[in-house]
Structure formats: C-alpha cells, structure tokens
Homo-oligomer: A and B are copies of this chain.
C-alpha cells in the first residue's frame, strides 16, 4: 500500500501540490472541534476539482427519500447534515488576476496538519502572469476551547514587487449539498449585514428551521503592525463580502486575520444566534489570533494527555493511530447531548452525517477509556432523550406496551434509513445500545445513571426483544425470524446467533437491574412481566454446529457452499464491487464480525476453546469489507494468541484513510471505525479488560514494534501503561491505589507509583 502523504509522528505533511490528490487531501487535512468541521478546502479561489464542505453538528435537512418501490413503514425522509456557509473564503487578486492554484502552478507548496495542535498550515509560492511572485502562508483552526469559534491567519509576502493587492474576505451561505436526492436547495436566507471589517449571514434550513448565524470580523497587519483599512461592503442574498485593496511593499509580510463564529439554534434560541455570533467575533478580535491559538492548543493538549498512544519502532503506525484519535476528537468531544458521531464526521456528506450503531459499538469504548465519564455519558443521554421516538418507531412496526426499537440511522430519534432489510431487520443495534449502558456502568460504576435513566431504556429495549421472539412449535423454543445481523452480507435470516444472544442478554440484564433496582429505588416491571421474561430467556434457541463448539451464524448456514475468502480470485475483491447482491447473499462470505462480534462482547461467557474454534471457523470466511470489521478480529486474535493475524488485520484498520485502502477518502473519512484502531491496540495488543471483576491486562506486542504506551481511565483513575517486547510498566497517576491482574497475576499499584511486569 502506497502512503498518500508523508509519514511523521505528529503531522500529516504534503510537500508538493498534486491536484489529483486534492479531494483526498481535503478529507484527510480536515479540521473540526466537535461542534463544526471544515474540509481542507483553500481559503482562496480554486477552480480545480474540489469537494467543498463545511458542516455544523446537528443541523440537518429531511431530504425526501428516494426508493424504487415503497414499502409500508419506510421513513419519509433521510436526514442529512448540511453543507453550510463557506466561512473560510478569502479571495486574493493581483492586477485583477485571481490567486488560484489551478491557474498559477505553485513554485513551492507545503501543507501540514498538526495533530498535536489541531492546526492546518499551508505555505506556497506562486508566480502571477506578469512575473510577480507571492509567498502565501495560511494557518487555521476550529477552536477546541470555544467551539463556536474559528480563526484564520492568511499571510502574503510580495517577493519581487511592490504593488496593489486586493483581498476579499467573505461568507457565502448559498451552499448546495453534494448529496441531495432531488437536487433541491436546502437553505433559506434569514438575514445578512455587512459593516466595516465585519459581517454576518444568517441562513435557515428549509423544513427543519435550523437557524445558523455565521459572523466574521477581521484585521489586517503589516509585519505585526495593525493597519487601518476601509473595506467595501458588498452583499447579496446569502452573501457578504468586505473587500479592500492595499499597496504591499516588497519583502514585507501582510496578515489578514479572520475570526469566524458559527452559532446555531441547535444550542441557542432563534433570537440569540445572530448577536451571539457577533459578540463571539468581537471577543475573538479583542483577544487576538495568538491568544486564541494558545487556548486552542491548550485544549488539545488536555485531550492528548488522556488519549495519546505512543508507538516506538513504527512511525507509520504511530502516525496512523494519532490520526484516528485526532479525527475522533475533532468529531465528538462530549460537550452536547444533542450531538453524536456521524460515520464521516465533518469530513463529507456520505451516510447523511447521522447516528449509527457504530457510536455504541465502537466509539463509546474509546471515549470510556480516554475521556472523563461525562463524555461517554452524553452519548447515553443522547439515546435516552430519544427513547420516546424509539418507542414510536417500534409502534410503527407493530410493537406495543412501550417496546423500543432504536433507529438504524437517525438525527433526531426518527428512523431515516430505507432499506427494509436494514431499517426493519438489522435490529441488533438495539442490543448495542443496551450493552453501552452496561459498558458505561462497569467502567464508571455510575449506578445512579443506571437507576435514573438507564433502566428505562433497558426495559423498553427488553420489551421489544420479548415481542420480537416468537414461539416455535416445531423447535419448542423461542426463535427470532427475519433479521439481519452485523454481517450485512446476509439479509432476512432466521435465528442469527448474535442477535438471539444479545437479545437474550438484554432481557437478562434488564431483569438483573430490576432486581437490583427494586431493592434500591423502585420496581419498574410487573411480576407477570418478570416471569414471562424469565421463561423466555431460559428457552431461547441458538443454532450451532453439531459435534463442535461452533455457533452457527444463522439457520441453514451449513447449506452454503463451504469456501474461504482465499478462494475468491483477487480480481473479484472486494466482492461488493464485483458480485451481484444475490450472489453475495447466498455465498458464505462474511462482511464483518457477526458470531465473532458476540464472542467479542461476551468473551467472558465462553472458554478459550470456544473462542478458538469459532475464530478458526469464521475468520477465514470473512472478507472484512466493512471498515468496522478488522478491529474486532484483532482483539479476538490477540486474545487467543494469534499475533500475526492480529497485526495483519491491525494494518487494515490503522491507516485505512491515510493510505486510502478503499479508494474513497475523497468522499470523507471513516470516522466511527477509527475507534477500532484504538480498540485493536488497547483491548487487542494490550489485552485490557474492565469488567465486574476489575481490570485485567494481557499485553502482547507486534513483532516490529519496540514498545507502545497509552493511558486509560479506569473508574475515572488515570493509569499509564507501557508495553515492550519482554514486559512493561503500569503507572498509577491517580490518588488511589489500584488493583489489577496482569497476565493472570494480581498486582497492586499504589497511587502515583509504578510497577513493572
């Protein structure tokens, strides 16, 4: 695999401008702050191929569904996070000639994403057609300190001339979505104003009426001295511009510092978004670029303190894992329970920017161990707040008595997805949402949340499962028909082992919480309900392969032609690009962990032989054509000591976007699967487990690595773990002593102390 950009432990670096890579670069060099994000489009005009993207978390449009054949129960719309106001724009003209890297081929070019600081830097030299050379340097960031703020420092130095240069800072809210089912325009203007070095444009989404005010303010400097300029105020619908021309002296550096604030009705009232955005840029202007940058960097260093992973001996892996952690925190910081983690984050429009089960299954464990418990809790509260909608969703499908089915894809709790085999049948997502509560509680010990909010969600989910099972006269057990498991290369199957298992577990967990809760606080289930549920969980059917420990993915799985992924000719991989859908469905090939997803979540329920037999049965049939697939296999492979396999699969996850394995980085990054890399390392290589029995480690290290280290929060206590080829160090950075098991041996690490193993 070819590296798209240069390898560096803390940076992504591009030394030469390649227009063919521009859209990939725009994704990879994206910046964001959990509240909004911006692809690495240029500030100045660019007439080459580009995917312009600026996204504001939570601001969506219900785009009319596109289906061939309507089926009862389909949602009317697919919510899409919208491409919003272009706030970065600063056009530059020399002698009426627009600066445009598609016209003036740059004489030198340097682009750098600094992941430690969260800044995007560009330096380049261009020659205009009259031979005038201009040096340009731009630095921008979306403030991690104040998530309504961004800033740009756009510097130019005339190298071989003195003369007039025109600067055109602007805001343009006339932005179309690339992804629009019927090519509709999704915005309406609310208002705009443009004054002296400041302006705002406020636009409102059609139908959903999200109002977003984008304000800017700027200053202009010569070598560090503020200049007094008098820009022209230009405006039209959706557009404000504050242009000015200035005589630049050769060899001097001129800086345009543009402060931008984006405020929306996701977090504020309709009346306050405009004044708030204006106040924000005024404050920023007063504070100045350097001070803002400093606060921003401080916020990032607080994140890295908890979340960083260091790898010695493999700088590509080092860069890869940092990139993934960096992009995750750019997408979600846990500040708002109204926001969640879209599969592409703020880097593209695919998948609508909405919430999937990826959040609970992959991202939550990452935040649980790398951030304070409040961050993960916000993700639970997000679902808790949408419980009523999940109940409505289940009612639409014929369920009763407060049964909840959480949507496959959602913005506001309503279902958006419209393939029946996914929307109506990929119901295991309900299980992941219940498991997230359990996972949160075992990591944090926050039983108050469980009793106050968690149980309501658990009981509603359990009610769904209870109704979704049906009694089979033939089997004299409860079966679950017509589901799609995590392996989406099967549809409408019966008795998916994983779904049956997690459903049974959900009901059991709800019953256990009821038992605990009814002593502590209050009873939520009737006695009839409890006894019916108990009867059910004791009589669930699970398909398995006779004479083995192998759990069968579904009924009839052994009727398939028994092949291995290695039997597929290389030119037919990935099969989802080469085979028709029916062929994929009836083949044995598995898209992503399914039975193994269950063994991953419930590892403690099974002995090692069972893990091994199932891994050996399923992994060779798995084509890993979901970005969510390899990580689960890394963890399992490591736990049964298959480090070679584990490392092979780790490589598929850690640099997926950086090396653009799937040839789709131009569309945006695989944000949610990025958590999988971190899981692979922490749960896989280091063998970290946190459960009711406490903390366990079973550290291993890939062959080529010298060492790796990371920190986890264990019940809020920070613990630094360092692993090298022959052992390691655990450093307790907390104020309490910590007990743990390492390689099945018991250790106590005293507060502020280290142990080696």
Contact of A473 with B66 at beta-carbon distance under 8 Å, contacts A424-B581, A481-B586, A582-B73 already known: no
Task: Compute how far the CA of A532 lies from the CA of B21 in the bound complex, rounded to whole angstroms.
Answer: 53
Q: Give chain B nearest CB distance to A542 CB in angstroms.
A: 13
Min CB–CB distance A662 → chain B (angstroms): 15
Interface residue? A482 (CB, 8 A): yes
Chain B nearest Cβ from A406, distance in angstroms: 15
Of all chain B residues, the one with the shortest Cβ separation from A480 is B586
Query: Is A607 in the interface zone, CB < 8 Å from B?
Result: no
Q: Does A585 touch B at the CB level, under 8 Å?
A: yes
Q: In the bound complex, what is the Cα–Cα distance between A229 and B69 (angstroms)? A: 52
Is A224 interfacial (CB 8 A cutoff)?
Answer: no
A580 neighbours in B (Cβ, 8 Å) = 71-73, 396-398, 424
Interface hub of A182, A479, A560, A581 (most chain B Cβ within 10 A): A581
Is B68 in contact with A582, judged by CB distance below 8 angstroms? no
A578 part of interface (Cβ distance < 8 Å): yes
B582 A397 Cβ-Cβ under 8 A: yes
> In the complex, what residue of chain B is closest to A584 when comparing beta carbons?
B72
**Complex interface: chain B residues within 8 A of A104 (CB):** none
Give chain B nearest CB distance to A588 CB in angstroms.
10
Q: Are B419 and A561 in contact (CB-based, < 8 A)?
A: no
A474 CB within 8 Å of chain B: yes
Which of A5-13, A35-43, A320-328, A551-559 makes up part of the contact surface?
A: A551-559
Q: Are A579 and B474 in contact (CB under 8 A)?
A: no
> Which B residue's beta carbon lies closest to that of A398?
B583
- A563-598, CB under 8 A of B: which get 1 and which 0? 000000000000011111111111000000000000
Q: Check A471 for interface membership: any CB of B closer than 8 A.
A: yes
A475 to B474, CA, bound (A): 19
A707 CB within 8 Å of chain B: no
Q: Are B419 and A582 interface neighbours, CB within 8 A?
A: no
What is the interface of chain A mostly: helix, strand, loop, or mixed?
loop
Closest Cβ–Cβ distance, residue A378 to chain B (whole Å): 30
Contacts of A578 in B (CB 8 A): 72
Residues in B with CB closer than 8 Å to A424 are 580-582
The answer for the CA separation of A214 and B561 in the assembled complex, in Å, is 57
Q: Is A470 an interface residue (CB 8 A)?
A: yes
Chain B CB within 10 Å — which of A418, A493, A586 has the most? A586
A747 in contact (CB, < 8 A): no
**In the complex the two chains form, is B475's CB within 8 Å of A559's CB?**
yes
Q: In the complex, what distance in Å separates the CA atom of A320 from the CA atom of B451? A: 66
Residue A491 at the B interface, CB < 8 A? yes
A419's nearest neighbour on chain B, judged by CB, is: B69
Interface: A448 (CB within 8 A): no
**Interface assignment of A420: CB less than 8 Å from any CB of chain B:** yes
Which of chain B's residues have a CB closer than 8 A to the CB of A491?
A: 421, 491-492
Nearest B residue to A492 by beta-carbon distance?
B492
Q: Which residues of B contact A586 (CB under 8 A)?
A: 470, 481-482
Contacts of A748 in B (CB 8 A): none
For A559, the chain B residues whose CB sits under 8 A away are: 470, 472, 474-475, 479, 481, 494, 555
Q: Are B419 and A581 in contact (CB under 8 A)?
A: no
Q: Which residues of B contact A164 (CB under 8 A)?
A: none
Question: Is A287 interfacial (CB 8 A cutoff)?
Answer: no
How far does the alpha carbon of A583 sit from the alpha carbon of B579 in the complex, in Å?
A: 29
Chain B residues in 8 Å Cβ range of A182: 182
Interface residues of A in 453-494 (CB under 8 A from B): 470-475, 479, 481-482, 491-494
Question: Is there a chain B Cβ closer than 8 Å to A612's Cβ?
Answer: no
Chain B residue with Cβ nearest A427: B582
Interface residue? A425 (CB, 8 A): yes
Count of A residues near B, CB < 8 Å? 50
A350 → chain B closest CB, angstroms? 11
A182-B182, A580-B398 as given contacts; A470 in contact with B69, CB under 8 Å: no
Quick check: is A67 within 8 A (CB to CB) of the other chain? yes
Q: Determine whether A65 belongs to the interface, using a CB cutoff of 8 Å to chain B.
A: yes
Residues of B within 8 A of A65 (CB): 68
B425 x A582 contact (CB < 8 A)? yes
A471 partner residues in chain B, CB cutoff 8 A: 561
Per the bound structure, the CA–CA distance linking A419 and B420 in Å amounts to 11
Chain B residues with Cβ below 8 Å from A473 are 558, 562
Write out the residue numbers on chain B whose beta carbons fall within 8 Å of the beta carbon of A69: 418-419
Residues in B neighbouring A479, C-beta threshold 8 A: 559
Instruction: Assess the B576–A72 pair: CB atoms within 8 A.
Output: yes
- Which of the listed residues A72, A491, A579 has the most CB atoms from chain B within 10 Å of its own CB? A72
CB-CB under 8 A for A581 and B420, given A474-B558, A479-B559, A556-B555: yes
Complex interface: chain B residues within 8 A of A475 (CB):
559
A343 to chain B, nearest CB (A): 14
What's the nearest-Cβ distance from chain B to residue A583, in Å? 5
* Contact present for A398 and B560 (CB under 8 Å): no
Closest to A479 in B: B559
Q: How far is the CA of A577 from the CA of B582 in the complex (A)?
A: 27
How far apart sit A69 and B69, CA to CA, in the bound complex (Å)? 12
- Contacting pair A585 B482 (CB below 8 A): yes
- In the bound complex, do residue A470 and residue B72 qualify as a contact, i.e. CB atoms below 8 Å apart? no
Cα(A578)–Cα(B481), bound, Å = 20
- CB of A585 within 8 A of CB of B492, answer yes
Instruction: Kindly supply a per-residue 1/0 record for chain A positions 409-421, scoring 1 wherever the CB is within 8 Å of any chain B CB and 0 otherwise.
Output: 0000000001111
A481-B73 CB under 8 A given contacts A424-B580, A491-B492: no
* Chain A, 527-551, CB within 8 A of any chain B CB: none
A420 and B72 within 8 A (CB):
no
Q: Within the assembled complex, what's the spacing in Å between the Cα atoms of A475 and B561? A: 12
Pair B556/A556 contact, Cβ less than 8 Å: yes
Mask: chain A, 68-87; 1 = CB below 8 Å from B; 0 = not: 11011100001000000000
The 7 A-B pairs of least Cβ separation, nearest first, read A73-B580, A424-B582, A482-B586, A474-B558, A71-B581, A472-B559, A481-B586
**27 A-B pairs whose Cβ atoms sit less than 8 Å apart in the complex:** A66-B68, A67-B68, A68-B68, A72-B577, A72-B579, A73-B580, A182-B182, A396-B580, A398-B583, A421-B421, A421-B491, A425-B582, A470-B560, A470-B561, A472-B558, A473-B562, A474-B558, A479-B559, A481-B556, A491-B491, A491-B492, A492-B493, A492-B585, A494-B556, A555-B555, A555-B556, A555-B559
Q: A479-B559, A556-B556 are in contact. List 17 more A-B contacts (CB 8 A).
A: A67-B68, A69-B418, A69-B419, A72-B578, A72-B579, A72-B581, A72-B584, A73-B581, A397-B580, A420-B581, A420-B582, A421-B421, A424-B581, A470-B560, A470-B586, A492-B585, A555-B555
